[in-house]
Structure 1
Amino acid sequence: MKALLLLGALLLSTPSYAAQLVLDLGTGSRIWKTEELLKHPQVQTIQITDDVSYKRDMSYRAVPLAALLTGIKADDHLQAVALDGFAAELAAAPLLDTVGAQAWLAIEDPANPWPALAEGKPGAGPFYLVWTHPQAGHISPEQWPFQVASIKRLAAVGVRFPALLPDPALAANDPVNLGYALFQKNCLACHRLNGAGDAQFGPDLNIPFNPTEYFGAEFLKRYIRDPQSLRQWPQAKMPGFSTAVLSDEELTLLVGYLKHMAGRKQTP
């Protein structure tokens, strides 16, 4: 009986390494297990100041994401998909940088789990894309996906989802196209538009109605800055976008894109 009790205690104290991260980078799929990543030759402890998700300083065991992105080039496009349906669209170039803002894959050790993100919510594990010196690369909170399940190499957003594209007659540097780029970076991880996008998180921003059709421009900007300042409810998930993340000029460009797309509705 004592031997059985000892065996049970050992099993309970042994960490579980069941979590897996799928990398599909266009040259075949690679599955990384938690145990493998924690033993990666480049794994190290990093300090994150004012972590986007935890709202405080955090310490992680992490691998430089560039070390895992075999064969990826700067002009490639990646998508990180989370367990809850959050789908972050990511240009590859910032992920490959090793100077300035640097991307890391933080790995949750089952023997030392991360805290809950908030009361009644899970933690950010098992895998979390975090950044050191994010201000150097103007990194958006939407570029910090947590609970990451897979990272895929995909065609550019406009190729996959032409329903998101502004009028093709517009010049590349037209304010609407600049707003479209900001939409991809800050909104597409949670929202679809015209039914286009991979996110399963927030409502469509054009069907049946575009927010510019029921919000005045200034109220819409205020809502994007601080959603709870206009609508308060306990289960709200949309974060506010501060001027450090989205300048006043950029916010105007983003709203301009949305207003433009209200005239380009397509039925999903």
Structure 2
Amino acid sequence: MSSPDTLLSGVALITGGASGIGRATSLALVSHGVRRLGILDIDMVKAEETTLELKSKFPDVEVILVHADMANEESVITGINKIVQNFGRIDYAVNNAGVGGKLGPTTEISGSDFRSTIDINLIGLWVCQREEIRHMLKQEPLENGSAVRNRGVIVNMSSMLGAVGTCAETPAAAYCASKHGIVAITKSDANYYGPENIRINAICPGFVSTPPMLHALRQSEIMKAELQKVPLRRFAKPEEIAEGVCFLASPMSGYMCGAAMLMDGGYTAQ
């Protein structure tokens, strides 16, 4: 059994928390003190696997799994309500669920493919944030021993492609549009709800060494070339991005509101 630190406390909710960055973030939230965690995901098999791993390392953690489809508004609303009904509040919300969508030049992408990516990555996230804020507005700040007291904190998963476009070799207009949109939603709602003591920020990862990305790196000369553009000459580990999420959720970032924090190994600094 691992002993958690106390950087975080209270209730955390994460969408897409079953695999990749989401799984690493679920583990990181608990390792930093969260003991009540709600995971919303469309893949219940992987969600169960993540829950078993969490409980094996932290036997006292309480995890609620909810099947939720980010493209279905009612599914999202029902899922978030279930977490609140069980835990009573949401102190940290990590809106991580998303898809890469269909890659290709704009002239070769159908309207339905474009809309599908936007529906999941952007509108789905916005619905999550709307419902999370509605619940946070009803709750008192969490007593966490810090001078900084928030009614709730939201961290949205954008991308370095929320700051720049893709290279010509990997066109992805819909994905870029969705990730730029996440930054815009983050900034807009952070401005409006900051006075209500709700902090909202986005995190913008670069290339992350998830299994699909590692496979692409082995098979694709394009991805090998992209790796050479990263000043650190490596892809991020999911755990590194997860620690960034926890930083944005914690009192350590208490004066950050409406920020889009890049974690890209220096890719966009060139």
Give the structure-1-normalised TM-score.
Answer: 0.26
Structure with the largest fraction of helix: 2
Structure with the largest fraction of strand: 1
Of the two, which has the highest radius of gyration? 1
